[in-house]
């Protein structure tokens, strides 16, 4: 790991991150340079006054968002550039890392006007597909099936969406790790003994995917909302009109903070820009059987068919 003075330096979420805590999941930088986008610091109460008046859940005060994990740590995310961690009596680095790389980074991305979606993103044919859905829908399991089929992971849990100079939606890579439930590992024939369980989640595991990670940004080509269905067959449905806005709104990471941060207009404009060029779908999976590989084929086939139809229309015109 690279260190500048007393800090570790990493690349993740499309950002250069300096941290006083080691974040071994992230890619370290060989030549970090002087341009640090995010600083993660350990502090005490004197530096986090907003936390002293904390409400239940998130406290939002100007450009600062704060929350507490009881007995573990207080967290403060400021100005899209700082994450302050205040250790409490049962401070555990493994548990704290989960919150830094999840909730804290999701909030920080919004502060930086980078749209964080809740799901997984995979690289297929030089394009990125975002798989969003409610907790337990099977997003990471489906992403793992893409990996098993030879495709690569771009992000898991938090999907950072930026825009190019031409307003093309781009997915930024996060870090080469998945989180999978024991049931999913068993279905893939993977031995749980080879992986580390997440803190306090004995049946959910950290899965390194360094060799199957796409470490560069890609244009977003499709958004798939994974939902559970009652039918025995898997299905892809186009989400037209306002349904696309619902999908992006409902599956924004920590989306309950959008209004409190004064970002409703920004979020709507981001969603509008995305949906002008990126199709949204519902991907319906049966709950009675294991279907990730079938779903992979449906996603890839539907997008390739769409590309071919688009090329045919261009040739005709």
Please check whether residues 121 and 87 belong to one and the same domain.
Answer: no
Dist. CA 210–CA 164, nearest whole Å: 26
CA atoms within a 13 Å half-sphere pointing along the CA-CB vector of 25: 25
User: Over 60: is that where the pLDDT of 293 sits?
Assistant: yes
Label residue 306 by pLDDT band (50, 70, 90): confident
Q: Between 97 and 44, whose confidence is greater?
A: 97
Dist. CA 296–CA 159, nearest whole Å: 19
Q: What is the mean pLDDT of residues 159-167?
A: 97
Q: Between 153 and 314, whose confidence is greater?
A: 153
Q: What is the mean pLDDT of residues 67-89?
A: 93
User: Over 60: is that where the pLDDT of 104 sits?
Assistant: yes
Residues 6+ apart with CB under 8 A from 54: 66, 67, 68, 74
Please check whether residues 106 and 149 belong to one and the same domain.
Answer: no
Please check whether residues 127 and 76 belong to one and the same domain.
Answer: no
Please check whether residues 226 and 291 belong to one and the same domain.
Answer: yes
pLDDT at 6: 58
Task: Tell me how far apart the terminal alpha carbons of the chain are, to the nearest angstrom.
Answer: 54
pLDDT at 45: 63
Residue 288: give the domain boundaries.
115-316
Q: How many domains does the chain have?
A: 2
pLDDT at 253: 96
Report the CATH number at residue 274: 3.40.50.300
Mean pLDDT rounded to a whole number for the chain: 89
User: Over 90: is that where the pLDDT of 271 sits?
Assistant: yes
Pairing of strands 64-69, 73-78: antiparallel
Which of 83, 111, 139 marks a domain boundary? 111
Q: Between 35 and 22, whose confidence is greater?
A: 22
Please check whether residues 172 and 282 belong to one and the same domain.
Answer: yes
DSSP string, 138-155: -HHHHHHHHHHTT-EEEE
């Amino acid at each position: 790991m690279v260190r500048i003075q007393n800090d570790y330096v990493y690349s993740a979420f499309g950002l250069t991150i300096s941290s006083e805590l080691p974040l071994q999941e992230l890619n370290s930088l060989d030549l970090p340079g002087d341009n640090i986008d995010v600083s993660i610091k350990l502090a005490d109460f004197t530096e986090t006054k907003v936390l002293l008046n904390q409400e239940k859940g998130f406290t939002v005060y100007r450009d600062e968002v704060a929350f507490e994990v009881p007995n573990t740590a207080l967290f403060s995310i400021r100005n899209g550039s700082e994450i302050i961690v205040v250790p409490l009596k049962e401070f555990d680095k493994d548990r704290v890392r989960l919150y830094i790389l999840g909730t804290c980074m999701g909030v920080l991305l919004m502060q930086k006007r980078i749209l964080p979606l809740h799901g997984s993103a995979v690289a297929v044919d030089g394009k990125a597909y975002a798989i969003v859905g409610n907790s337990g829908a099977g997003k990471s399991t489906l992403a793992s099936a893409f990996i098993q089929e030879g495709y690569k992971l771009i992000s898991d849990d938090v999907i950072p969406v930026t825009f190019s100079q031409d307003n093309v939606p781009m997915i930024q890579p996060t870090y080469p790790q998945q989180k999978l439930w024991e049931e999913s590992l068993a279905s893939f024939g993977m031995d749980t003994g080879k992986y580390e369980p997440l803190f306090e989640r004995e049946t959910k595991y950290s899965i390194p995917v360094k060799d199957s990670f796409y470490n560069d940004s890609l244009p977003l080509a499709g958004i798939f909302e994974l939902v559970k269905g009652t039918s025995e067959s898997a299905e892809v449905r186009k989400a037209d009109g306002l349904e696309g806005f619902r999908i992006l709104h409902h599956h924004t990471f920590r989306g309950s903070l959008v209004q409190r941060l004064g970002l409703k207009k920004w979020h709507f404009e981001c969603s509008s820009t995305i949906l002008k060029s990126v199709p949204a779908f519902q991907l319906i999976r049966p709950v009675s059987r294991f279907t990730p590989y079938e779903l992979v084929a449906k996603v890839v086939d539907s997008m390739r068919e769409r590309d071919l139809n688009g090329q045919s229309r261009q040739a005709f015109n």
